[in-house]
Chain A
């Protein structure tokens, strides 16, 4: 149970980073932390005590194994967050090119 709570704390740290930080790169890091905390939580949910990976082997019988579905989901979610991070980092680089700063309080041409 305490591990689950730690995951939620990690999630909250991610949200804190997104909401409170003023540097674009730090916001992106916050986003990444949010994603990782959910992946960690997902894999922990699928864990069974003394379980092994759900991969069949020729020589040994498997008595207890962890739930493989969360691992597949976590992998998919990692791929998605990879795509988003690549996109958002390239946008951040372009923003730096145009505005000359990473400070979000100075990036405010759109308003109203």
Chain B
């Protein structure tokens, strides 16, 4: 089997899992649990292997021609540094969330359906990452979105349905914008392959089309990534979903559908301009401040975390908007860190909900005496997200702030610093009201959550601590290869075409 053959497996394995569970999950006992763990660990192994594969590839790009059709005629799948980086992020979180869900989903009735939708969502996310065809990107984006709409409404309580309705409407409007942009691009460039499109757009100038399409994409992807003027749906959707799904949504879904797709299209296909970078920087810093201030006044555990997501995604967008090597490096590093610690925080909220059956900060308190593992992992994640030195969040935020100062944007740097301080404040509030203080009588009897849930939380906490080592020279290529793809801009076209014809 040739090396490039692993690329379609990222889509095949979760799709196969989804339909097998749908077919056999009801009849064979514990079938869905076994197969979901098997497939997600396989995916994690393959995505780690893709890093090793890339190290030995000359162009740092691998292209798979689906059906043997060469680009620009067929659909191609592209694995480069950025795709490989995102694959690792998605499949790492998906693996731990799947393990966590084995115990957590006991309180819901229909586990096979949950795992079917979960696997479909993973296949959509992986598909968005590996595809090299812009319409295929839209299709996978919709697969992931539809699965997530259904997963948000999974509990079918009144609040969940309301949140899911809001999320569906906003998500569909965003998809319509993205699709309209793709249609305009197709009408202009007469090709759907992203690499070929980039080279056509380079050679064929147009005055009005590119700005118009950029606005459509910016609106669509900002809605998907919940940047501040477009953030209304996120707190509802992310706080109403089952906790493991909140972890997926906050941890990887908005990053893949929003940030990754935006990076790929703006940097590699359209070729980013200074005006677009300034808009991204402005939106990013607006998100940082607004999200942090709104999070500050929340009394619901998960709603606080959801607003915190808006604020932290702002850091990523700010770093991308700087457009300098250091800024993009910091943004990608923060993307990795944020997906780890935000998933961990949502899993913690699920653990508190599982044991104490409440998410209201005013009702909980003193849980450190009965839930030591949750408390410790939550402490690590909170310190990491607020940027306290030995933990991972500190390094990525520091790099973004340095990049701001290096580029001369002192104001934006100040925004990032203020956002970080506000983050520390509202996570102190979280610690105080949930884990510290007096233990109430009604919580005296509760026990720590089952071991599978503990396993996921401990592993993610360990990654939180160890992620700082990614800056070491031995491990830096992991991030460097990803940022090189973005810095290369429309050289993406040449790289993909070269790798496809080889």
Whether A and B touch (Cβ < 8 Å) is answered with: yes
Residues of A within 8 A of B (CB): 11, 14-15, 18, 24, 27, 31, 34-35, 38, 41-42, 45, 69-70, 73, 76-77, 80, 83-84, 87-88, 91-92, 94-95, 98-99, 107-110, 112
Q: Which residues of B contact A76 (CB under 8 A)?
A: 135, 139
Pairwise interchain contact A110-B162, C-beta atoms closer than 8 A: yes
In contact, A112 and B183 (Cβ under 8 angstroms): no
Of all chain B residues, the one with the shortest Cβ separation from A93 is B161
Complex Cα–Cα for A1 and B176 (A): 21
A31:B172 contact, CB within 8 angstroms: yes
Residues of chain B within 8 A (CB-CB) of A112 are 235, 297-300, 303
Q: Which residues of A have CB within 8 Å of B187? A: 45
Among residues of B, the one whose C-beta sits closest to the C-beta of A110 is B236
Establish whether residues A84 and B173, one from each chain, have CB atoms under 8 Å apart when the complex forms. Answer: no
Total A-B contacts with CB atoms under 8 angstroms apart: 94
**Contact call A31/B169, Cβ cutoff below 8 A:** yes
The smallest C-beta distance from B1 to any residue of chain A, in angstroms, reads 30
User: Is the Cβ of B168 less than 8 Å from the Cβ of A110?
Assistant: no
1/0 per residue, CB under 8 A from A, across B168-203: the answer is 110011001001100100110000100000000000
Q: A76-B139, A112-B300 are in contact. Are A18 and B158 (CB under 8 A)?
A: no
Asked whether B172 lies within 8 Å of A24 as measured between CB atoms, the reply is no
Q: Are B176 and A88 in contact (CB under 8 A)?
A: no
A110-B173 in contact given A38-B179, A84-B168, A91-B168 (Cβ < 8 Å): no
A69 to B149, CA, bound (A): 29
The tally of residues in B whose CB lies under 8 Å from a CB in A reads: 36
Report whether B179 and A87 are in contact in the complex, using a CB–CB cutoff of 8 Å. no
Residue of A14, A70, A109 touching B162 (CB-CB under 8 A): A109
Q: Is residue B463 contacting chain A, with contact meaning CB distance below 8 A? A: no
Identify the closest chain A residue to B143 (Cβ): A80
* Residues of B contacting A41 in the complex (Cβ-Cβ under 8 angstroms): 180, 183
Instruction: Say whether B158 contacts A80, CB under 8 Å.
Output: no
- A92 contact set on B, CB distance < 8 A: 165
The answer for the CA separation of A109 and B3 in the assembled complex, in Å, is 52
| A27-B169, A34-B173, A95-B165 known; A109+B158 contact, CB < 8 A | yes
- Partner pick for B161 among A38, A84, A98, CB 8 A cutoff: A98
Chain A residues with CB below 8 A from B146, complex form? 80, 83-84, 87
Q: Is the CB of A18 within 8 A of B159?
A: no
